[in-house]
């Protein structure tokens, strides 16, 4: 059966996260319901690179599904976009070899986190950027970012609610913070991420920016393997699953 890979974007504001749940509006639920219409009521299972939480956005989430229909990649994109709601969009489809898997074949993931660092709120972006009105020392944040790059045990920076099997060692290839006027853009690129990891890292880096933690305290935090000593979990609205690499 042909296998289709799609790169999708969604505005997480009105979804109860990615994963399908009974009686909740979810990204997976909307995708499967559109595919069911295309397949005349046959249900089709969709596999994503991973879940995203309520309110978290995606610019480049990746999914795959199998279908007995023989459509071109352009037709898949058009057919899905015609049926999907206006906060979920297929940017590209591709017919992929049978052995491809959207989750198991992930080589790297990139998340970005946006912060509006000024006193006044921006009501037009209240669901798309985290409003943080306190003054920040960006140079300190940049220095703290460097301590996170590489292979570490990220227990300190993962939710205590996480139920991941196996260790909490992950490799981050890039951790950076750029400032564009009043906006901060954090980039996290790595082999894998633990539950809430990016949001806890951002919360901690903002504490560094406020001077509550020193940049090199990151080393001690990593070594302690204790969630309770890291910063707050930054809210969902600033977070975007940006790209998935295979």
- 111 annotated ligand-binding residue: yes
**Which one is catalytic: 11, 53, 87, 153?**
53
Any contact of residue 167 with a second copy (CB under 8 A)? no
Distance in angstroms (rounded) separating the CA atoms of residues 136 and 231: 15
Any contact of residue 9 with a second copy (CB under 8 A)? yes
- Give start and end residues of each alpha helix (H) in 16-84: 27-38, 73-83
8 phi and psi, to 5 degrees?
-125, 160
Q: One symbol per residue from 125 to 144: x for binding a second copy (CB under 8 A), - otherwise; what is it?
A: -x-x----------------
Size of residue set near a second copy by CB under 8 A: 15
Distance in angstroms (rounded) separating the CA atoms of residues 220 and 228: 13
Kindly tell me the burial class for residue 107, based on how many C-beta atoms sit within 10 Å of its own C-beta (0-12, 13-18, 19 or more).
exposed
Q: One symbol per residue from 49 to 68: x for binding a second copy (CB under 8 A), - otherwise; what is it?
A: --------x-----------
53 is catalytic: yes
Any contact of residue 89 with a second copy (CB under 8 A)? yes
Judged by beta carbon, residue 67 or residue 92, the one nearer a second copy is 92
Any contact of residue 100 with a second copy (CB under 8 A)? no
Number of residues assigned to the chain: 246
Nearest to residue 196, comparing CAs of 158, 152, 228, 161?
Answer: 158
Q: Which residues would be at the binding site for a second copy (CB under 8 A)? A: 9-11, 57, 86-89, 91, 120-121, 123-124, 126, 128
Q: Give the active site residues.
A: 53
């Amino acid at each position: 059966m042909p296998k289709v890979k799609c790169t999708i974007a969604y505005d997480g504001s009105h979804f109860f996260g990615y994963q399908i749940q009974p009686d909740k509006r979810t990204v997976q639920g909307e995708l499967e319901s559109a595919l069911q219409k295309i397949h005349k009521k046959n249900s089709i299972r969709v596999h994503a690179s991973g879940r995203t939480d309520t309110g978290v956005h995606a610019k480049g989430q990746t999914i795959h599904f199998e279908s007995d229909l023989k459509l071109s990649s352009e037709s898949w994109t058009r057919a899905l976009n015609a049926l999907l709601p206006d906060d979920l969009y297929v940017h590209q489809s591709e017919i992929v070899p049978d052995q491809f898997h959207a989750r198991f074949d992930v080589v790297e993931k990139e998340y970005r986190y946006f912060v509006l660092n000024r006193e006044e709120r921006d009501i037009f972006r209240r669901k798309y950027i985290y409003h943080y009105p306190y003054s920040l020392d960006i140079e300190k944040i940049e220095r703290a970012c460097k301590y996170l790059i590489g292979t570490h045990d990220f227990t300190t920076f993962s939710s205590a609610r996480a139920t991941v099997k196996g260790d909490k060692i992950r490799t981050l290839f890039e951790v950076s913070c750029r400032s564009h006027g009043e906006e901060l853009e954090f980039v996290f690129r790595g082999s894998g991420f633990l539950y809430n990891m990016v949001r806890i890292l951002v919360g901690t880096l903002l504490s560094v920016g406020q001077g509550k933690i020193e940049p090199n305290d990151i080393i001690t935090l990593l070594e302690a393997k204790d969630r309770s000593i890291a910063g707050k979990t930054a809210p969902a609205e600033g977070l975007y699953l940006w790209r998935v690499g295979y």
